[in-house]
Amino acid sequence: MSRPVLEQPARLQQQQAAGSIDLGARIARLRGQQGLSLQQLAIRTGIGQQTLRKIEQGRQSPRIALLQQILAAVGSDFDRLLAMEDPHDRRSRRSITRVQQRRALGQNQQLLNADLLSKKMLPIYNRLSDVSRPGGVFEKYPGEVFVMVLRGQLRLRLPDYQTLSLNRGDSVYFDGNQGYRIDNPDSVVAEWLTLIAAD
């Protein structure tokens, strides 16, 4: 049986004040609620214990796809994760996110409209400040993905298609289950909006 995981109130308040979400503490709490050890979560997700430990301790920010994988393994989703921060029921069908209210989700991503629960899509603001090299893992999402370039240029790689260059104002819609990778081919900052609609 695993030990109960205690949330660190000081760290949580500090991150809430900064407008970010303490994902690690929430993931640890969800894992604890399921009675899972770190080793059991590692087996369920295929993610190394070291990586999971770093995420739970707030020393590493998971990418969205990795976070979805962890949440699925603990029987949760984004709505429940966000509801842990504020117990008030916020089921309004309107949500406004001001720039200063965006919630950090990883180093280059910000969750938009996090206050709205039970939504059918997940809006994410993304930013890459410099040239990113081709390579790395393809991200996968269980559902459909929409990407629109707000600034700069992007290079989109899909397994079954030719690499696509996207400029400001361009958009693309595709199946997230196939996996994809986005690179910034330029030294100019690239910003884009991603909408993920779960299956």
- 153-177 residue pLDDT tens: 999 999 888 999 999 999 999 998 8
Q: What are phi and psi of 13, to 5 degrees?
A: -65, -40
Give the dihedral of Cα atoms 122, 127, 133, 139; nearest 10 deg.
-10
In which order are the strands placed within the sheet that holds 153-157?
A: 164-167, 153-157, 181-183
| pLDDT tens by residue, 52-61 | 999 888 888 8
3-state DSSP assignment of residue 191 = strand
| pLDDT tens by residue, 48-96 | 999 999 988 888 888 888 888 899 999 888 777 776 754 444 444 677 8
- In terms of phi and psi (left: phi > 0; alpha: psi -120 to 50; beta: otherwise), the region of 106 is left
3-state DSSP assignment of residue 99 = helix
| Residues in the chain, total | 199
The predicted pLDDT at position 136 comes to 59
pTM for this structure? 0.60
